[in-house]
Structure 1
């Protein structure tokens, strides 16, 4: 590791509250609210299907917010984008608390998802332009781990608030408090964008030749003076990498999302009670969270494929094998075992989508590209539960689970094909 990387590492650790704090705070509040969205929707008159649709508004909002967030970050910067998104999110929180009808509540959930895209993209863009490539995967794995920490702890906070106050809206008010703290931290704390000198960021020399050819123009200008282009022009200019590596990344997002849907449904379908299902899913989530930094270490030391490929194979094979255990005598044991396998695979994939997006983003102005990249990956995550639901409706949950496994294995082959072409090997 060279002196530049040592300096970047020191600065990242010194400014960790400012760099990772907003992500943790937002994810804590969001994680506390997510399990209660269907319940509050039902209280407003939604049936089961409609409540599920309202819950999906969060993912749809994030999907729709990526491209506008890319535009905002490119124009006004990461800090102001996060502050503005925090203010809009407070509006969404107030809408959720005081919603007089289901439509207003659903719109508020959508708005929060829309703003979540801005938080995610702002820090993603910051890491892309400020962190040297030799330390990039670890920095982005920490960013992914910050989000996972919030989403892991948030539901437990919601459970405590529900037990204390007996009102689901207490978790929404907690989210509002997290947003206020986030805005204050972003606006009043030291600015990490100024602490990390842009001159220490990875330059065009770190880009693979195939990607430079894809851009069609020089990227040798400095970050402050480089030409800024629109989001849709960026999508067209980098269509080659987006249509190849971007789709491979979307398959990873798809099987991650499917894991959150399939595991609870599988436990229910084999006759387990809610407590047992929650325990198995919780253990799987704990394994996932425990491995988030290991993924960054592997990617930085050995290359991106060494983390992406094992993760995809583990999750793809895990889903495929689970599909054959539904009617076995020891179905509960197999369920617990493969849930753990999926947790390991998902943990090893922490930060991969962030890192690959940063690797192939144009170094001069990454935000519009990252908006397109995150739209692709979020689309994979949004479509996957719908695919599981549709296949289950026409056949069975076992076949739907097997189909997810096949998607994972196909995605592994896509990573083998496209990662070496577009992404430079990580430097030791």
Structure 2
């Protein structure tokens, strides 16, 4: 009841995402317009985090997920029946908006109900559930396209949403079977910064008051987390463009990107193990250094004799780095969120991290247009290394008090 609805939602979304620009192009959009329609999903998710935080704080995780699932079904039907490209784009935006509500509801549930000593593993499994759907979804789309038309994957998403809503609405309610756990967190060593949200607070604040109250942690640790999101997002853009710039065919590029994604997916639980056993920094640092250094080295290999070999090797390195950071953003957000009412804070946190992910393609595009793709790769590498320094400085060091029920 915790992970299955997430898998269902991510599975349908993963099946639809590759088809969004294709359907937009078939409706008459040029390449730039099709890319803009595809970006509407990310923009919708970015805009949906703050309202989702408000909804979860007032009506709870379960009903937020049910409402988001119902509105998502309307958005999917709109994608199928859209008569013009504007309606299709609006439906994609609405889908992203609902995806934010669904993701935040699950994040808030895990934050308040998972004991600290295995929080990172639980949230890494949550992140792995999203990755499983996004990883398998395109293969389902490929199979459906062999038999049906391009809208078959959207119908598949609609079926996943229907099952998910029924499961959440009529299945056992995890909110009742798992009461909130307000575990006290005690700083094990002084990092020089106040740890926002570590003292339980049960006063219900609004979204903007919460943002202002926790502006310190959002402006420091939140910015470092946004840099991780940016590097992750840049990987999905730079690798295919790098393959194209080397003159590789689509099949080879897909193979390299697919292997990188498989390595990423294989490591999602290892990340949680590292964070729970050794601390959050021991997952954040290797991940950011590997990805930052990987992008920097990649920027130096484009014109070399072994450029294709370096491309494959460094794509694997980036996959390892991304896999080691699985669940990190979820875990850090849970660590610094107020224990009484985390939803409003998590809405601000996820807005900040999603903004980093949304900005990365724009940075890559702009630097590539002004200088070169190699310079864009180097810029992403610098962002990654600066983010690593931010994590060193601002990740709080926690030691959990013993749970009296253990």
Bin the TM-score by the shorter chain: over 0.9
Deviation at 1:204, TM superposition (A): 3.4
Question: Is the Cα contact below 8 Å between 1:92 and 1:112 reproduced in 2?
Answer: yes
CA pair 207-75 structure 1, distance change in 2 beyond 3 A:
farther
The aligned residue for residue 203 of structure 1 is 183
Provide, for residues 59-101 of structure 1, a one-character-per-residue CA deviation record: whole Å limited to 9, x for no partner.
0000000000000000000000000000000011011001000
- 1:249 lines up with 2:231 in the alignment: no
CA distance in 2, matches of 1:321, 1:220: 44
CA distance in 1, matches of 2:92, 2:183: 39
Deviation at 1:164, TM superposition (A): 1.1
Secondary structure of the corresponding residue to residue 3 of structure 2: helix
CA pair 188-317 structure 1, distance change in 2 beyond 3 A:
same
The runs of at least 4 aligned residues of structure 1 exceeding 6 Å deviation read: 207-213
Deviation at 1:243, TM superposition (A): 0.1
Aligned match for 1:40, one of 23, 30, 43: 23
Question: Is the Cα contact below 8 Å between 2:123 and 2:327 reproduced in 1?
Answer: yes
Question: Is the Cα contact below 8 Å between 1:359 and 1:423 reproduced in 2?
Answer: no
Structural mapping, 1:402-413, within 5 Å:
402-413=378-389
The aligned residue for residue 210 of structure 2 is 234
Secondary structure of the corresponding residue to residue 190 of structure 1: coil
The aligned residue for residue 51 of structure 2 is 68
Provide, for residues 8-36 of structure 1, a one-character-per-residue CA deviation record: whole Å limited to 9, x for no partner.
xxxxxxxxxx1011111111111001111
Deviation at 1:211, TM superposition (A): 7.4
CA pair 413-174 structure 1, distance change in 2 beyond 3 A:
same
CA distance in 1, matches of 2:12, 2:215: 35
Q: How many residues align?
A: 400
- 1:191 lines up with 2:173 in the alignment: yes
Structural mapping, 1:335-414, within 5 Å:
335-414=311-390
Aligned match for 2:155, one of 173, 177, 199: 173
Question: Is the Cα contact below 8 Å between 1:145 and 1:350 reproduced in 2?
Answer: yes
Which structure dedicates a bigger proportion of its chain to helix? 1
**RMSD of aligned C-alpha atoms?**
1.6
- 1:316 lines up with 2:298 in the alignment: no
Q: TM-score, normalised by structure 2?
A: 0.96
The aligned residue for residue 150 of structure 1 is 133
Structural mapping, 1:93-172, within 5 Å:
93-165=76-148, 167-172=149-154
CA distance in 2, matches of 1:138, 1:265: 34
Deviation at 1:330, TM superposition (A): 1.4
The aligned residue for residue 7 of structure 1 is none
Question: Is the Cα contact below 8 Å between 1:316 and 1:406 reproduced in 2?
Answer: yes
Provide, for residues 363-385 of structure 1, a one-character-per-residue CA deviation record: whole Å limited to 9, x for no partner.
00000000000000000000000
Deviation at 1:213, TM superposition (A): 7.0
The aligned residue for residue 5 of structure 1 is none
Question: Is the Cα contact below 8 Å between 1:78 and 1:125 reproduced in 2?
Answer: yes
The aligned residue for residue 35 of structure 2 is 52
Farther off after superposition, 201-210 or 331-340: 201-210
CA pair 195-206 structure 1, distance change in 2 beyond 3 A:
farther
Q: TM-score, normalised by structure 1?
A: 0.91
Provide, for residues 346-403 of structure 1, a one-character-per-residue CA deviation record: whole Å limited to 9, x for no partner.
0000000000000000000000000000000000000000110011011110100110
CA distance in 2, matches of 1:114, 1:164: 31
Question: Is the Cα contact below 8 Å between 1:133 and 1:202 reproduced in 2?
Answer: no
Secondary structure of the corresponding residue to residue 120 of structure 2: helix
Question: Is the Cα contact below 8 Å between 1:63 and 1:114 reproduced in 2?
Answer: yes
The aligned residue for residue 15 of structure 1 is none
CA distance in 2, matches of 1:204, 1:236: 23
Provide, for residues 80-131 of structure 1, a one-character-per-residue CA deviation record: whole Å limited to 9, x for no partner.
0000000000011011001000000000000000000011100100111001
Provide, for residues 259-317 of structure 1, a one-character-per-residue CA deviation record: whole Å limited to 9, x for no partner.
00000000010011000000010000000000000000000000000000000000000
The aligned residue for residue 272 of structure 2 is 296
Q: Flag structure 2 segments of 5+ consecutive residues without an equivalent.
A: none
